[in-house]
Amino acid sequence: MISNRSQSIPIDTVPVVAQLAIECLTEDRGDDRRQRRTCCGCLESIFNWIPVFFIVCLIVYSYYVYVWHLCVQNMKQHSAIVLGVFLFWYHLLLLMFLWSYWSSMWAKVMPIPAEWSIPDADWTRLSRANGLEERRHILSHVALRLPITMCDQNGVVRYCGHCRIIKPDRAHHCRTCQRCILKMDHHCPWVNNCVHFHNYKFFLLFLIYASLYCLYALVTLLLELHHAWDFDFDNLDLNSLQTMIPIVLGMIFTGVTVIMLGLHIYLLLLNRTTMESAHAPMFCIGGRTRKAFNLGCCANLCEVFGDRWYLWPLPVYSSRGDGLTFPTREGSVSSARSSDF
């Protein structure tokens, strides 16, 4: 009699083997996905630094043109004192330009405090909520003691589904930084960082010193070109062409930086971010308006640059507030209560 070998195999063996095989395949695919995400993250990081590398190359090129080509080679007819004055102001503007640029780029994005986080139990209820009223009730309970005045277009407390937090006023989630940013203005590729509450002053100083740096170099090059060439095309030579190329570049970048500076000074005096200028914020009391944070030109200026005037030209932190709450125009909006939503 031939024995039935299938009886010697446990009944659960086949499902167990299949389960192990599925787990191995799933784990391999998960590793592949993680590896792909890592590679994509590295490529994205490299790509994000390209604008910064471009700016650095321009600074190096401008330094070569101004110091070596202009001052050392083409301004020999001037005295050492005149050359010293030119180089002093040039290096001073360059120093302030680089300092503010570095501060804007490496300013730390401060995390939003833990009390703004949505508890796990409330998050589970929120993810299972069916309608708007149920979400409104859950979020109002979570934000009961939080100082907020803004809401979404439906009049519901603003929250971030990625960070699982209640959004403070003027805070937004940045897809590039993958976090919520306090008083987010915009994500600037030229500094590879978000322009936000803690570095907005640095960014404004960066635009100011970049404009002054470009304008100073451009005016000096034009004066030297006028002295050497006298705007006579018959006297055009290779040395003049080497001066004209930086002049054309200087005109382009001076125009760009001055326009950007003018735009942000306009927004500064209105106490308005770039995002608020494009889309008016919604308030739980008062509705949609762009004027709620406008306290007047002087107060708006001091809110960003601080009360100590001697720190205004320096890229060191001196702004008012904590980035979580902001004063509003008297009578325009009020702090939200749970009954307001």
Q: Which residues are annotated as catalytic? A: 188
174 three-class SS = strand
- Rounded Cα distance between 37 and 276, Å, is 33
Output the DSSP codes for 255-322. HHHHHHHHHHHHHHHHT--HHHHHSPPEETTTEE-S-TT---HHHHHHHHH-S-GGGTTS-S---SS-
Radius of gyration of the chain (CA): 29
H/E element holding 247? Answer: helix 238-270
Contact between 217 and 251 (Cβ < 8 Å):
no
- Rounded Cα distance between 31 and 33, Å, is 5
- Rounded Cα distance between 246 and 94, Å, is 16
